[in-house]
Amino acid sequence: MPTRSRPALDKISAGLAFLLGLAAILLALASQVFGGLVPCELCLEQRLAYYIGLPVLFLVLVTWNRLPLPAWYVGMAAATGIFLWGTYMGAYHAGVEWGFWPGPTACTGVGETMDFSALNNLTPVVGCDVVQFRLLGISLAGYNALVSLVVVALLVFSIWAQATRSKRG
């Protein structure tokens, strides 16, 4: 009876992490473009994890079998660290929205005084403590923290699966 090869769980989980991250940033952009939601300063900063982490993860995925193992670990650790930072930013922003701690003064403070005629030239500004949309009681910042945490978990599992497979030979 022929033996069935096991699927490479490390690559599958890394691929799922990439797809989940890609879906999250595309949904965030769609909510802005098509849904009319205006991102605040922290919303835009949270997106940096996707703008930086997804290309890093994509490079690791497309060079998966050609990368030396130490370079693979560095790439995966970098992507994991970037999304861990994204998890922190999402949780921080959700905490600002719930009033657990203050947000950046540029985002929640009174700001500078200006001439009223200059208001015509401004684009809409939304405070970081203002929730524009909630689903099941969770804001988009909260969902970003959860999604980023799942991406981190998938990447950590991928690293663990690769390390386990490497030890077995």
Q: Which of 62, 54, 48 shows the shortest CA–CA distance to 20?
A: 54
Q: Residue 45 domain-assigned?
A: yes
Contact 89, 46 (CB under 8 A): yes
How many domains does one find in the chain? 1
Is residue 145 included in any domain, yes or no?
yes
- Does residue 18 sit within a domain? yes
CA distance readout (Å), 47 to 4, 30, 44, 73: 41, 13, 5, 24
**Residues near 128 by Cβ (< 8 Å), separated by ≥ 6?**
40, 41, 42, 43, 93, 96, 97, 103, 104, 107, 108
Crossing angle for the helix pair 69-98 and 41-62, to the nearest 10 degrees: 160
What's the pLDDT at 8? 82
123 within domain boundaries: no
Long-range CB contacts for residues 49-52, cutoff 8 Å, separation at least 24: 49/82, 49/83, 49/85, 49/86, 49/89, 49/148, 50/21, 50/22, 50/24, 50/25, 50/86, 51/25, 52/82
* Residues of the chain with confidence (pLDDT) below 50: 1-5, 110
Any domain includes 137: yes
**Token pair for 31:** 């909510």
Contact at 8 Å (CB) between 37 and 133? yes
Residue 54 in any domain: the answer is yes
Task: Please check whether residue 113 lies inside any domain of the structure.
Answer: no
User: Which pLDDT score is estimated for 154?
Assistant: 97
**Distance in angstroms (rounded) separating the CA atoms of residues 139 and 36:** 16
- Is 78 among the domain residues? yes
Question: What is the pLDDT at residue 150?
Answer: 97
pLDDT digit string, tens, across residues 98-131: 888 877 776 655 455 555 555 555 556 677 777 7
Q: Residue 67's pLDDT is what?
A: 86
Looking at residue 3, its pLDDT comes to: 44
Residue 53's domain comprises 9-102+131-168
Q: Which pLDDT score, from 0 to 100, does residue 113 have?
A: 53
